[in-house]
């Protein structure tokens, strides 16, 4: 049986998170728009950037995601390139993202195989818990740590609970592959 998720306590320390956030904020794409999952309430702010704009700083996260797939999921994945668009999610007080899955059901040639998240919060926050549903609701406590990462199949139902104080920042990579058969 395949695993539901693959987590890592900390890929980046606080100084590395701050450096990555600085580089990310310098490279936001001004024209991109968010496309939340259909029928889900999403009140967070989303900004976008290209993978290549953050250079080698993102490599430890990319390697973690690749390793997660090799060791836990075994999906056929397309290669990532520098033009890949990433989502930078900002959850302020009272913002959330209700239950949803990540996917592109109308795309005839590809599916989102993995949801890869990196916690880039550089201050403490409360609430904003990542929850997965794989037959029962599971709180992913490890993901609340600064610099931590989680990877799970994109078809797993998940949500982010309301942030009650502070600000939660995450980077999301949706890793595509050929259509599921």
Rg (CA), the chain: 15
Does residue 125 form part of some domain? Answer: yes
Has residue 156 been placed in a domain? yes
Q: Give the Å distances, CA to CA, from 124 to 1, 104, 146, 159.
A: 36, 33, 8, 20
Q: 93-129 pLDDT, tens per residue?
A: 999 999 999 988 788 888 999 999 999 999 999 999 9
State the average pLDDT for the chain: 91
Answer whether residue 35 shows pLDDT above 70: no
Contact 50, 87 (CB under 8 A): no
Q: What is the pTM of this model?
A: 0.92
> Can you spell out the DSSP letters for 161-179?
PPEEES-EEEEEEEEEEEP
Q: How many domains, in total, are found in the chain? A: 1
The domain in which residue 149 lies consists of 6-32+55-178
Closest CA to 85 of 5, 38, 31, 155: 31
Q: Does residue 37 form part of some domain?
A: no
CATH code for the domain in which residue 82 is found: 2.60.120.620
Residue 152 lies in a domain: yes
Write down the pLDDT at residue 121. Answer: 97
Q: Is there a domain that residue 69 lies in?
A: yes
Give percent of the chain above pLDDT 70.
Answer: 93
């Amino acid at each position: 049986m395949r695993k539901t998720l693959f987590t890592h306590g900390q890929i980046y320390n606080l100084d590395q998170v701050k450096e990555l956030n600085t580089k990310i904020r310098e490279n936001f794409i001004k024209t991109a728009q968010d496309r939340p999952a259909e029928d889900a309430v999403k009140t967070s702010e989303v900004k976008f950037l290209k993978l290549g704009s953050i250079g080698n700083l993102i490599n430890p996260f990319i390697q973690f995601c690749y390793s997660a797939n090799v060791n836990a999921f075994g999906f056929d994945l397309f290669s990532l390139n520098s033009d890949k668009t990433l989502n930078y999610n900002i959850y302020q007080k009272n913002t959330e993202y209700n239950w949803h899955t990540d996917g592109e059901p109308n795309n005839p040639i590809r599916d989102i195989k993995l949801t890869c998240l990196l916690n880039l919060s550089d201050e403490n926050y409360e609430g904003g818990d990542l929850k997965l549903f794989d037959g029962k609701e599971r709180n992913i406590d490890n993901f609340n740590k600064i610099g931590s990462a989680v990877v799970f199949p994109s078809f797993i139902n998940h949500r982010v609970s309301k942030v009650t104080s502070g600000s939660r920042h995450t980077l999301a990579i949706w890793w595509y592959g050929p259509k599921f058969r």
